[in-house]
Amino acid sequence: MRFRAAIRFALCISLAASTAAVTPAVAAPPIERVKLPPGFEVTVFAEGVKNARSMALGEKGWLFVSTRSAGNVYAIRHDGKKALETVTIATGLNMPNGVALRDGALFVAEVNRVWRYDAIEASLPKAPRPVLVYDKYPTDRHHGWKFIRFGPDGWLYVPVGAPCNVCDREDPYASITRLKPDGSAMEVVARGVRNTVGFDWHPVTKELWFTDNGRDMMGDDVPPDELNHAPRAGMHFGFPHCHGGDIADPDFGKGRKCAEFAPPAQKFGAHVASLGMRFYTGAMFPAEYRNQVFIAEHGSWNRSKKSGYRVMRAKVEGGKVVDYGVFAEGFLDGATDRAWGRPVDVQVMPDGALLVSDDHADAIYRIAWRGNPGS
pLDDT at 18: 37
**Domain range 2-369, CATH architecture:** 6 Propeller (2.120)
In terms of phi and psi (left: phi > 0; alpha: psi -120 to 50; beta: otherwise), the region of 192 is left
- pLDDT, tens only, 232-264: 999 999 999 999 999 999 999 999 999 999 999
Place 373 in a pLDDT band, splitting at 50, 70 and 90: confident
Give residue limits of the domains in the chain. Answer: 2-369
pLDDT at 23 over 90: no
Tell me the pLDDT tens digit for each residue of 125-141.
Answer: 999 999 999 999 999 99
Q: Among the listed ranges 7-11, 84-88, 113-117, which one has the minimum average pLDDT value?
A: 7-11
pTM, whole model, 2 decimals? 0.93
Q: How many other β-carbons are positioned within 10 Å of the β-carbon of residue 206? A: 11
- Region 311-319: mean pLDDT is 98
Q: Strand pairing of 186-191 and 235-236?
A: parallel
Taking 60 as the threshold, does the pLDDT of residue 37 lie above it? yes
Q: What is the pLDDT of residue 139?
A: 98
Question: Which burial class, exposed, middle or buried, applies to 127 when counting CB atoms under 10 A from its CB (0-12, 13-18, 19+)?
Answer: buried
CA angle 200, 203, 206 (to 5 degrees): 70
CA–CA gap between residue 114 and residue 93 (Å, rounded): 11
pLDDT band for 22, please (50, 70, 90 cuts).
very low
What average pLDDT does this structure show over 98-120?
Answer: 98
Q: Residues 189, 157: contact at Cβ < 8 Å?
A: yes
